[in-house]
Amino acid sequence: MRVLLVEDDQPIADSLRRGLVRYGYEVTWVRTGAEALAAEPADMVLLDLGLPDVDGLDVCRELRARGDVPIIVISARAEEVDRVVGLEIGADDYVSKPFGVREVIARMRAVARRARPAAAEPPPPDALAGGRLVIDRRARRVHVDGTELALSPKEYDLLAYLADAPGAALTREQIMEAVWDAHWFGPTKTLDVHIGALRRKLGDAAVVETVRGVGFRLVVAG
């Protein structure tokens, strides 16, 4: 899916763009309303309202007049009146800052299902199997050798994220952004605590290896 990201704040844009690319989206980033209106057609638009040249609501109105591309407003304007106006002029959803990447992804998938039910993105597999380890994503349950592991919600999220790319070295920043979201400001020591807990619970069915100076990777036993 091609996404047009209209956002003037570069740190927010960089963080959101990394997250979207990680989930398989193709992202075009522009900073102004004029650039947004001149950009190539996209499958979805993420639109900030605080643009340097025009009000994002005007951009939303113009994009809606041109066609039915799904539009999700992302804005620091959290007042009810702004939400109502945005939705009334054609936005499909409204996300207030600060937000997490996973929340935006979930909103995008919901909007895509409503806009194009027949062409909606396929859901993730019900289960991911790797040797002795089985991750049932729909039920959020994990089994090793047929026995269910007692994982906390964050332990499950961490394992599921590592299992998305078994064998790949993932940086601490990528993991923190994906599991604790882009606006996590707590200590990264919490990641080490959760890694330690996973290692104890997985035993030798899967190994969470430390990649020195980078982060971690999951190696699933055969």
**Residues 6 or more apart from 77 whose CB is under 8 A from it?**
49, 50, 96
Q: Which amino acid is at 54?
A: V
Residue 80: the pLDDT is 64
Beta strands in 100-159 (DSSP E): 127-130, 133-136, 141-144, 147-148
**Low-confidence residues of the chain, pLDDT below 50?**
117-126, 182-186
Residue 118: the pLDDT is 42
- Ramachandran region, residue 206 (left: φ > 0; alpha: ψ -120 to 50; beta: rest): beta
- Let me know: does 30 contact 37? Beta carbons within 8 Å: no
Residue 107: the pLDDT is 84
How far is the C-alpha of 23 from the C-alpha of 18, rounded, in Å? Answer: 9
State the Rg of the chain over Cα: 20
Residue 100: the pLDDT is 78
Which DSSP category does 152 fall into? -
Query: Six-digit token pair at 201?
Result: 């619970």
Residue 153: the pLDDT is 87
Instruction: Based on DSSP, count helices (H) and strands (E) in the chain, helices before strands.
Output: 8, 12
Query: Six-digit token pair at 60?
Result: 């939303």
Beta strands in 54-162 (DSSP E): 71-75, 93-96, 127-130, 133-136, 141-144, 147-148
Beta strands in the chain (DSSP E): 2-6, 26-30, 44-47, 71-75, 93-96, 127-130, 133-136, 141-144, 147-148, 170-171, 206-211, 215-220
Task: List, for residues 119-134, the tens digit of each pLDDT value.
Answer: 444 444 445 555 788 9
3-state secondary structure of 22: helix
